[in-house]
């Protein structure tokens, strides 16, 4: 019975996570860290620490699988970030 409850809770969390709103670049929290949905659009002058191989999917703050198009981020609560995105809080895994 414990397994059934655990599986049900996991399914519920997965569905809740999938329904989470996407972070908008105009969101004040996103703007504060220079979040872009597409890392190719990062202002490289403003963020000189940005490297072409960095994106949300390979950041330690990303709470999704590397194959997910969107996933949670510890910075943005219940909003999902684009896996191909980037922000100044990027941290290597």
The chain-wide mean pLDDT, for the chain, equals 86
Does the pLDDT at position 8 exceed 70? no
Half-sphere exposure of 24 (CA within 13 A, CB side): 4
Cβ pair 20, 80 in contact under 8 A: yes
Per 3-state DSSP, the chain is made up of helix, strand and coil in percentages (nearest 5) of: 30, 15, 55
CATH class of the structural domain 2-82: few secondary structures
Pairing verdict, β 80-82 and 62-63? unpaired
Q: Where are the beta strands (DSSP E) in the chain?
A: 62-63, 70-73, 80-82
pLDDT on residue 12 = 40
Does the pLDDT at position 4 exceed 90? no
pLDDT tens-digit profile of 20-61?
899 999 999 999 999 999 999 999 999 999 999 999 999 999
Q: Where are the domains of the chain?
A: 2-82
């Amino acid at each position: 019975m414990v397994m059934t409850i655990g599986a049900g809770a996991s399914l519920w969390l997965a569905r809740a996570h999938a329904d989470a709103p996407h972070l908008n670049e105009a969101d004040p929290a996103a703007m504060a860290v220079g979040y872009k949905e597409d890392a190719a659009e990062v202002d490289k002058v403003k963020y000189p620490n940005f490297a072409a191989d960095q994106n949300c999917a390979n950041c330690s703050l990303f709470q999704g699988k590397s194959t997910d198009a969107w996933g949670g981020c510890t910075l943005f609560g219940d909003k999902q970030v684009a896996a191909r995105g980037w922000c100044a809080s990027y941290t290597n895994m």
